[in-house]
Amino acid sequence: MRFVDEVEVAVQSGHGGRGRSSFRREAYVMFGGPDGGDGGRGGHVILEADPGVNTLLGLRSRPLWRAADGAGGGQNRRNGSNGEDMVIKVPAGTMVRDAESDTLLMELTAPGERRVLAEGGRGGLGNIHFKTSTNRAPRKATDGGEGTMLRLRFELKLMADVGLLGYPNAGKSTLISRVSAARPRVADYPFTTLAPSLGVVSLGLDSQFVVADIPGLVEGAAEGKGLGLQFLRHVERTRLLLHLLSLGPDEVETPLVRYQILRRELVRYSDRLAGRPELVVLTKHDTIDAEGLAGVRAELEAAGVTVGAVISAVRGEGVAELVREIWKRLGEIPGDDVGDVGDPLAPRV
Ligand SMILES: Nc1nc2c(ncn2[C@@H]2O[C@H](COP(=O)(O)OP(=O)(O)OP(=O)(O)O)[C@@H](O)[C@H]2O)c(=O)[nH]1
Ligand SMILES: [Mg+2]
């Protein structure tokens, strides 16, 4: 089980543009002086901690991240334009190491933080700089500086955005394996999941979130019954809880009763956890008919519990809608609503 996302890529800053060697040519001016402009600076490679990015998935889209070269200087003292910077967006908490030596080069801790990872080469000097009292017509101009190529390893301790809660067998692991590359064990008996695992859910390169699957909870979990207590802390810092309630035929209590039992455990465990925004998801839709579902909904809604989604992970029904709903809800929850997050680099799951 890996809680650390790791990506190796190369970055290359731009080369500086060449300085220009040229002379003024105008009507009625016999010997125009040097007028070659400077080359532009090569683009920097910049690392930016973007609050909208949660994983290093986007980095994998190319093996080389290259900034543009500076343009050469022009006649008429025109300087070449600077090469465009390459901005790499990563989540706060990302650490960057030299891939060969393993040396830590930088870590971005605060959202919005920007640091230059590789400086672009300086622009070369045009021949206007080389004019002296003894040399009025210098031909000399210099080359731009070389950009820098680095092989880097990016590391991120994943923080889960969404925590899956539910009774054993509620279908938590089935859901995470449906929406992410995570493949926890799924089986028809309680406590199949013995340790938490994380999955990265991707709606596009710039929109991902991380889901934590934990073992099922039972009544008394807050006191350490079942496997519950030790794992609740893994979802303590998530921004959104998905409370999964199975519609399956083997359950003893109704979904409402199971919901209320787990809510009580959450409150007993921590007010902060119980106060997290929550989305109630009815699972195993395929095992119940429309009338049965309507009854469950009515019972929940009469008790003030809003059903956020109804899915069948096995058939894939309602799952895409659920993913979009989670994404929407995460967008509405401020990122700093996670309370005291302590050391941003400490593993949270
Ligand atoms: N019919 C049906 N069965 C499902 C669905 N989702 C999950 N199951 C079954 O329910 C059982 C339990 O699923 P899991 O995903 O292991 O449940 P869990 O919540 O992770 O369980 P624990 O890890 O024990 O807490 C398995 O036999 C699944 O195949 C569904 O949408 N429809
Ligand atoms: Mg499981």
Q: What is the pLDDT of residues 310-342, one digit of tens each?
A: 999 999 999 999 999 999 999 888 754 444 333
Counting ligands in written order, which one lies closest to the CA of residue 197? 2
CA 271 to centroid of ligand 1, rounded, Å: 28
Crossing angle of helices 290-302/255-269, nearest 10°? 40
CA 40 to centroid of ligand 2, rounded, Å: 57
Q: Is the CB of 226 under 6 A from ligand 1?
A: no
**Helix or strand (DSSP H, E) at 202:** strand 197-204
Counting ligands in written order, which one lies closest to the CA of residue 177? 1
Q: Which of 174, 189, 214 to mutate to test the pocket of ligand 1 (most atoms within 8 A of CB)?
A: 174
pLDDT number for residue 324: 95
Mean pLDDT of the chain: 88
Q: Is the CB of 313 under 6 A from ligand 1?
A: yes
d(CA 5, CA 95): 10
Q: Is the CB of 192 under 6 A from ligand 1?
A: yes
The amino acid sitting at 298 is A
pLDDT number for residue 228: 61
CA 323 to centroid of ligand 1, rounded, Å: 18
Q: Which residues pair with 200 in a beta bridge?
A: 210
CA 195 to centroid of ligand 2, rounded, Å: 9
Which of these, 316, 188, 203, lies nearest to 250 by C-alpha position? 188
Counting ligands in written order, which one lies closest to the CA of residue 190? 1
Q: Is the CB of 178 under 6 A from ligand 1?
A: no
Q: What residue ranges define each of the domains in the chain, with the CATH number in brackets?
A: 1-157 (2.70.210.12), 162-332 (3.40.50.300)
Q: Is the CB of 166 under 6 A from ligand 1?
A: yes
Which protein residues have a CB closer than 5 Å to ligand 2 (ion)?
172-173, 192-193
Answer whether 167's CB lies under 8 Å from 243's CB: no
Counting ligands in written order, which one lies closest to the CA of residue 184? 2
Query: Rounded mean pLDDT of 41-63?
Result: 89
CA 45 to centroid of ligand 1, rounded, Å: 46
Question: In this structure, what are the phi and psi dihedrals at residue 170, rounded to the nearest 5 degrees?
Answer: -70, -20
pLDDT number for residue 4: 63
Residues 6 or more apart whose CB falls under 8 angstroms from that of 277 comprise 239, 240, 241, 329, 333
pLDDT tens-place string over residues 108-148? 988 899 999 999 999 999 999 999 989 988 999 999 999 99
Which of these, 266, 280, 259, lies nearest to 326 by C-alpha position? 280
Query: Rounded mean pLDDT of 64-68?
Result: 97
Residues 6 or more apart whose CB falls under 8 angstroms from that of 207 comprise 52, 327
Which of these, 53, 247, 42, lies nearest to 148 by C-alpha position? 42
Lowest mean pLDDT segment, chosen from 52-61, 67-76, 95-104: 52-61
Q: Is the CB of 188 under 6 A from ligand 1?
A: yes
In the chain, the N- to C-terminal Cα span, in Å, equals 11
Does the predicted TM-score (pTM) go above 0.85?
Answer: no
Answer whether 83's CB lies under 8 Å from 40's CB: yes
pLDDT tens-place string over residues 178-234? 998 888 888 888 888 877 788 889 887 778 888 988 888 888 877 777 776 667 777
CA 185 to centroid of ligand 2, rounded, Å: 7
Length of the chain, in residues: 349
